[in-house]
Amino acid sequence: MHERDWPEEGELVVCTVATVKDFVAFVQLDEYHGREGLIPISEIATGWIKYIRDHISEGQKIVCKVLHVDTQKGHIDLSLKDVNDHQRREKICEWKNEQKAHKWIEFAAEASGASIEEIENALYHEYGVLFVPFEEMVTNEPSIREKVSLSKEILDALIAVAHENVKIPKVTVSGVLHLTSTKPDGVNVIRRALRSAEPKIPDVGIDIFYIGAPKYGIKITAPDYKTAQKAIDRAAAAAVGVVERAGGEAKFVRKQKSGKV
């Protein structure tokens, strides 16, 4: 159930095509209790349209932009052509995530004895959506417990479900350490440097591996690029510092962003 009964003008909505006529298509708004919307042929696609069915068909899942809402008459005018591919993909992803979150709420409601409506209303009130708070349950549990007005038993059930189902995207950054020491204890200097490059940082994974003297790879996995870059800079600076203080030569070469994992 969506917190609002009607969409707002300019909003992107997920729809299922119900009926296609010669000059108009009727759709059901999936996020708004199946309310009916209308797409005139002029809003189906850019340019001249000979056959509307070349662009849209019954049962198809589409994303539309809301042009006008008349709650008194129950009319919702929509546009398909005003939604680009990027917007469509993002909206479908968001909608699918909301469907997942609704299912997780069902699990938590059953486990805690609460009603689905009570949980959804509490999450909607604080976040306006359902999926985002589940991510926060995994990444920042104290914040959820402080902000959401639900009993401890219900929150415990929600958080347990979140940890079982939510996969938080990670990013990686990497680089190469060049470490050289000609001192008699040079091997130990390098070992100390590599150990110093593995600081304990919450939610950050650090992997150091041998490439071939004097090169050592370093890879950081973190929730976001800012955290990852900060961690790799800290690790590299620690290793370089150990070698230079021991009279050796050291430098760090950063690689391009590796992307999400």
Count of domains for the chain? 3
Tell me the pLDDT tens digit for each residue of 88-140: 999 999 999 999 999 999 999 999 999 999 999 999 999 989 999 998 998 88
The position carrying tokens 């200097």 is 189
Among residues 225, 223, 236, 226, which one has the least CA distance to residue 175? 236
Domain boundary pick from 49, 65, 81: 81
Q: Please state, in angstroms and rounded to a whole number, the distance separating the CA atoms of residues 52 and 132.
A: 37
Kindly state whether residues 112 and 31 are assigned to the same domain.
no
Kindly state whether residues 51 and 117 are assigned to the same domain.
no
* 7 belongs to a structural domain: no
Backbone angles phi, psi at 90, to 5 degrees: -65, -40
Work out the pLDDT band at 158, boundaries 50, 70, 90.
very high
Lowest mean pLDDT among 28-42, 110-124, 161-175: 161-175
Neighbours of 112 (CB within 10 A): 21
Kindly state whether residues 153 and 92 are assigned to the same domain.
yes
Question: Which residues face 216 on adjacent strands?
Answer: 177, 210
Bridge pairing between strands 205-212 and 215-222: antiparallel
Domain boundary pick from 27, 49, 81: 81
Q: Please state, in angstroms and rounded to a whole number, the distance separating the CA atoms of residues 145 and 128.
A: 17
* 6 belongs to a structural domain: no
> 0.75 exceeded by the pTM?
no
Kindly state whether residues 112 and 70 are assigned to the same domain.
no
First vs last Cα of the chain: how many Å apart?
32
Question: Which helix (DSSP H) or strand (DSSP E) does residue 239 occupy?
Answer: helix 225-245
Residue 94: domain span: 87-165
* 194 belongs to a structural domain: yes
| Mean pLDDT (whole number) for 13-41 | 96
| Mean pLDDT (whole number) for 204-225 | 89
Q: Which amino acid is at 144?
A: I
Neighbours of 163 (CB within 10 A): 12
- What does the DSSP assignment read for 109-146? HHHHT--HHHHHHHHHHHHSSSHHHHHHHHH-HHHHHH
Kindly state whether residues 99 and 125 are assigned to the same domain.
yes
* 1 belongs to a structural domain: no
Question: Which helix (DSSP H) or strand (DSSP E) does residue 189 occupy?
Answer: helix 186-196
Domain boundary pick from 81, 115, 136: 81
* 159 belongs to a structural domain: yes
Task: Give the angle 162-2-71 at the CA atoms, nearest 5°.
Answer: 170
Kindly state whether residues 153 and 175 are assigned to the same domain.
no
